[in-house]
């Protein structure tokens, strides 16, 4: 049924929330340095879900608000996650809007994110969006069919 599934990275796949970085408005090189020092813990519930989707033959796309300059360290953080594609929308106050546009343009049918703004806007666009909070996916938003 749904062939392309998407996941946010920080606060969804990992237990590290990226929202604090966005609020600091710090240069991307500092973010990259901090990410090298941090070893984010993987959300085991989400990892199991991703593996289940992959076993069903689904395409898994990761969309992150991390800066593109963090690509190498981000791929290291994702080395145990089975995914097909990785996209960066860069951090900043409008990152969530860029993420929504990208998810729509990629044809993602289900998207997991810890940002309520993202899930709300995806719902408006007719995409099934699952809100992840406290490392559990519990609230599903979707447009009536």
- Mean pLDDT to the nearest integer, 24-49: 69
What is the average pLDDT value for the chain, to the nearest integer? 82
125/94 Cα distance (integer angstroms) = 18
Q: Which residue has the higher pLDDT, 105 or 15?
A: 105
Q: What is the CATH number of the domain that holds 119?
A: 3.40.50.1000
How much is the pLDDT for 36? 54
Q: What is the pLDDT of residues 107-119, one digit of tens each?
A: 999 999 999 999 9
Number of Cβ within 10 Å of residue 69's Cβ equals 16
Q: What is the pLDDT of residues 45-94, one digit of tens each?
A: 999 999 999 999 999 999 998 888 888 888 988 999 999 999 999 877 88
Kindly report the pTM of this predicted structure.
0.82
Residue range of the domain that includes 118: 4-141
Looking at mean pLDDT, say which of 22-26, 28-32, 102-106 comes out highest. Answer: 102-106
Helix (H) or strand (E) holding 137: strand 136-141
Helix (H) or strand (E) holding 23: helix 19-24
131/121 Cα distance (integer angstroms) = 12
| pLDDT band per the 50, 70, 90 thresholds, residue 129 | very high
Number of domains present in the structure of the chain: 1
- Mean pLDDT to the nearest integer, 27-48: 70
- Cβ-contact 60, 84 below 8 angstroms: yes
111/87 Cα distance (integer angstroms) = 14
Token pair for 62: 């990761």
Residue 143 pLDDT exceeds 50: no
How much is the pLDDT for 137? 56
What DSSP string describes 93-135? TTHHHHHHHHHHHHT-SEEEES-HHHHHHHHHTT-EEEEEETT
Q: Which residue has the higher pLDDT, 23 or 57?
A: 57
How much is the pLDDT for 25? 57
What is the 8-class DSSP label of residue 56? T
């Amino acid at each position: 049924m749904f062939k392309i599934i998407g996941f946010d990275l920080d606060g969804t796949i990992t237990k590290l929330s990226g929202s604090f970085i966005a609020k600091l408005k710090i240069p991307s090189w500092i973010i990259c340095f901090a990410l090298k020092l941090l070893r984010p813990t993987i959300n085991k519930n989400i990892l199991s879900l991703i593996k289940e989707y992959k076993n069903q033959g689904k395409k898994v796309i990761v969309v992150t608000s991390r800066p593109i300059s963090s690509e190498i360290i981000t791929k290291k953080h994702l080395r145990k996650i089975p995914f097909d594609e990785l996209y960066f929308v860069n951090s900043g106050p409008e990152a969530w809007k860029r993420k929504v546009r990208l998810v729509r343009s990629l044809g993602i049918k289900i998207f997991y994110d810890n940002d309520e703004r993202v899930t709300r806007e995806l719902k408006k666009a007719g995409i099934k969006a699952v809100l992840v909070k406290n490392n559990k996916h519990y609230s599903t938003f979707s447009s009536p069919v």
